[in-house]
Chain A
Amino acid sequence: MIVKDWCMFCGECAGVCPRNLIEVKEYSLVFNDEECKDCSTCVKVCPVTALEKD
């Protein structure tokens, strides 16, 4: 996952991730890319379109 530098770490993506794979730190996001099934739910809910699949 590409996290754009305007991400504000609100964590909405983590709350909707069906597999609980996103860790929201204070100033960074950590994705467990290995287990990600590319459902893109996180990408779609982001209020500022800061996520992009790579």
Chain B
Amino acid sequence: MIKTDVLVIGSGPAGSSAAKHAALGGADVILIDKKSEIGTPKRCAEGVSKAGLADLKIEPDERWVTKELDGVRLVSPNGTNVWLTSNEIELPEAGYILERKVFDKYMAMDAARAGAEIKIKTLAHAMRKEGNAYIVTCEHMGELFEIEAKIVIGADGPESRVGRWAGLKTATKSTNMESGIQFEMVGLEMEKSDVIEFYFGTVAPGGYAWIFPKGKDIANVGLAIITKKTGKTPYEHLKEFVANCPATQNAQAVEINIGGDPVGGMPKKIYGNNVLVCGDAAGQVNPLTGGGIISGMKGGMYAGKVAANAINKNDYSEKALKEYDELIRDDIGPELDKYLKVKEYLSTLSGSELNSIADAFQDIDFEKVSTTELIKSLVKVSPKALLKLGKLI
């Protein structure tokens, strides 16, 4: 049987980050992924913030940055625009648009360079506890084999099973799982090619539609919805959006992507004896934007570091691994909570309330305006919307 200190299951951004930091901390690390090509197919609109990459000490590389952005366009149901730039407001996913297929591979390569052993096309099929270790049954090209690991890090994405195999309550409720669907398109005609666009309202019930430009006339055009909130399928919503959006009238799809995005925040418990869970598998996703690349990689980084420490101290108990939980919640917890509140607020607003808010904000110079003034203009257009906001905060 293969034995290792740390087994990381899943080589997305979170898993590769975990494997890298565990290896840098001196642990023996194996990183497995069921995919034959790490990063492909993507389940992502590929937006990340510059600050997020800097926090992770990752230098942008021209092989995986397709476009640098500065700004956001918010479009209300009746088409009213609010334009924002990063000087004006902190923008979570508006820094770079990546090429995830290349980015994910590069992150795995960093893990390999740090000393992790990668096994591709290797599926974690089952997991059982034996003494002070987990035995994971893996499948590679029809062959079953076992890996014994002192610590398992579950970074197995939105389809996650590892946490639950270890008895953690990490299942995603269907009302917290956004169903995403996206075309990568060519022939876009955008008003500004260096901003990301968000569209709200009935185009995407429970979520939003987006256009994330990838340079030239290329963009990711997609949407994410809560399926319980609509009678149409995500694909029907997407086809409708593309048929009606001015920017996509002459655009054509060269790729279709689908995927679930867990937007309910982190489950109560994401660690246990000999196990840690990070990334989408641990709900490390911005509940409003659905962005989980940076937050998942931060989860991976802390999981990897704490796992390596535990290996060095020969203590893989829940108590020793709890530090992971503290580190990740200190770092991203407040932000996740904040965005969860904004999301709850937005979900209480009707289409006409969204329109009147957009109307009030469309000509505001956010750089110059104070919060009090923002609230004053909101009270003018929609006292009801403000009242709902008051109840939430």
Chain A positions within 8 Å of B, measured between CB atoms, are: 8, 10-18, 20, 22-26, 41, 44-49
Of B176-184, B291-299, B365-373, which stretch is located at the interface? B176-184
Contacts of A22 in B (CB 8 A): 159
Counting chain B residues whose Cβ lies within 8 A of the other chain, the interface size class is 20 to 34
Q: Which 7 A-B pairs have the closest CB atoms?
A: A11-B159, A12-B260, A14-B159, A47-B258, A47-B234, A10-B259, A47-B179
Chain B positions within 8 Å of A, measured between CB atoms, are: 34-36, 41, 43, 121, 123, 125, 139, 157-161, 164-165, 171-174, 177, 179-181, 227-228, 233-235, 256, 258-260, 262
* Bound: A24/B34 CA distance, A: 9
Contacts of A8 in B (CB 8 A): 41, 256, 258
* Bound: A47/B36 CA distance, A: 23
Contacts of A24 in B (CB 8 A): 34, 159
- 24 CB contacts below 8 A, A to B, read A10-B43, A10-B258, A11-B157, A14-B159, A14-B161, A15-B159, A15-B177, A15-B260, A15-B262, A18-B171, A20-B171, A22-B159, A23-B123, A24-B159, A26-B123, A44-B228, A45-B174, A45-B179, A47-B180, A47-B181, A47-B259, A48-B258, A49-B233, A49-B235
* Bound: A49/B231 CA distance, A: 12
* Bound: A37/B165 CA distance, A: 19
Q: Which residue of the partner chain B has the closest CB to A30?
A: B125
* Bound: A12/B173 CA distance, A: 11
* Bound: A22/B159 CA distance, A: 9
A17 close to B171 (CB less than 8 A): yes
